[in-house]
Amino acid sequence: MNPVASLFQQRSKQAWIKGARYTALIAKGLHFLPIAVLLLIYFGYRALLTGLPPEFPIHLLLAILLTWILSRTGIRTFVKAADPVFLLPAEEGLREYFRKSLWYSGLMQSLKVVFWMIFLFPLFYTRIGDVGDFLAALALLLPLKIWNLWAHWLELRAEERPILHLLLRVGSNGLITLWLFSGGLFGWPLLVAILWFAALTLHYRQMYSHNRIIPWDRLLLREEQAVSAWYRLAGHFVDVPQISNEIKPRPLFNPLLRRLPRPQPENTYLYLYLRTFFRYGEPFGVYVRLTGVTALLVAFLREEWWLSVLVLPLGMLLTGIQLPWIRRIHRFQPWFRLYPRPDSQKRTDWSRLAFALLAVQATTVVILQWWLWSQPLPLLPLLLGIGWGTAWILGRLWLPKRLHKQSSSLL
């Protein structure tokens, strides 16, 4: 029996089991948050459909989104660092292994296209066509996605001109989707598209015939990127031992770190937590991104002010869930336990920082709205008060209590 034949099934099964465990832990900690997000998406989507002007180019928006979805293709191979040494002699088994990998990736990528098309269906149905047109578009996009997957696999095995091939795919996908959503594809443009993709397919086959070497370095890099992306997402909600966090100097914030907080024993842990927040890639990056997204949503939903009132606390809650990482990162550092300060100060200083960061986020979001809202008074001061109140509840009450319940051994 050839053990390589069943290796892909074993590895994919292990990956799904591990992913399911992390998903269960994340869902356990989020409580009502997924329901709140779904309600926000529902009401926000409905406001988008009713608020878009008639002259807005929906077909161009859908073409850009679907071009990105079609061109951005990932291939899961589940390869390990030792595979180039131990699996290289099993050439016949490797062919079957990578064939299963492509079938698996094709299924996952097709489901991705179906999910996005279902999500965009209300927009499509309102402005572009009926259910029959939608199904015809989906029937065309699925084979196109499979073709992009096949082409990307050959690009990984090519030694030259990867940027040129990527631009070819992106341009071809963009032209097809633009014709499709503007209603002009099913005619002579369809014949042109078929001939063009036939020529591209011939070109890719000729490119593949010159190089049959397995690109282990590229496959390992992309597999590591895929796994790291999932771990970083899970690491925002639960402890993930496999995750690593990049340290960035960020000299722009050095003057702030030198002056705040004051160099006193009472601010020992606050100073450390503040430097941890600014110097690590996460959660600083998540904080900035969520602040920007929350500001954009509040600005977009300004006509539905009650939705803005819901969006701001929800964005702050999503941010607050990331902040305990600032404290957890120091859990296993022995020198940190030698500070001659009481243990209660560790949680108190973290709570002070969490409240300050959330209050700054709320203030930033509200200030960015001042020039956009036609009547900023009295709604924006009310929104600012709600934001500061949410920051106090999250930073001073809910998050410290939640952090203490998760592990009594936390710093």
Q: How far is 41 from 36, CA to CA, in rounded Å? A: 9
**What is the reported pLDDT for 84?**
82
What is the spatial distance between Cα 30 and Cα 40, in angstroms, rounded to a whole number?
Answer: 16
Q: How many CB atoms lie within 10 A of CB 333?
A: 10
Structure tokens at 312: 């701001």
Most confident listed range (139-153, 174-188, 367-381): 139-153
Q: What are the tokens at 73? A: 């293709």
Instruction: Check if the beta carbon of residue 360 is closer than 8 Å to that of residue 321.
Output: no
Q: What is the pLDDT of residue 68?
A: 93
Q: What is the pLDDT at residue 411?
A: 42
User: Over the stretch 311-342, which tens digit does the pLDDT of each residue have?
Assistant: 888 888 888 887 887 777 776 677 667 776 77
- Predicted confidence (pLDDT) at residue 212 exceeds the cutoff of 60: yes
Check residue 280 and report its DSSP letter.
B
Position of tokens 């954009």?
296
Residue 116 has a pLDDT of 92
| Separation CA 367–CA 360 (nearest Å) | 10
Return the SS3 of 307: helix
Report residue 395's pLDDT band, with 50, 70 and 90 as the boundaries. Answer: confident
Q: Is 247 helix (H, G, I), strand (E, B) or coil?
A: strand
Other CB atoms within 10 Å distance of the CB of residue 59: 19
Those residues with Cβ within 8 angstroms of residue 294's Cβ, 6 or more apart along the chain or in another chain = 311, 312, 315, 316, 361, 365
The pLDDT of residue 193: 82
Cα Rg for the chain, rounded, in angstroms? Answer: 26
pLDDT exceeds cutoff 80 at 256: no
Residue 369 near residue 299, CB atoms below 8 Å: yes
409, pLDDT greater than 80: no
**What separation, in Å, do the N-terminal and C-terminal C-alpha atoms of the chain show?**
52
Tell me the two tokens of residue 4: 């390589």
pLDDT tens-digit series, residues 216-253: 888 888 888 888 777 776 766 666 655 555 666 666 66
> Is pLDDT at 73 greater than 90 in this prediction?
no
Q: Which of 205-219, 302-316, 369-383 has the highest mean pLDDT?
A: 302-316
CA 263 to chain centre: 38
Quote the pLDDT of residue 398: 82
Highest mean pLDDT among 104-108, 193-197, 302-306, 379-383: 104-108
Q: Of 305, 380, 292, 304, whose CA–CA distance to 48 is shortest?
A: 304
- Token pair belonging to 48: 């988008």
8 A C-beta contact, residue 211 and residue 247: no
- Locate 18 and state its tokens: 């591990």
What pLDDT shows up at residue 113? 94
- Residue pLDDT, tens place only, 126-137: 888 888 888 988
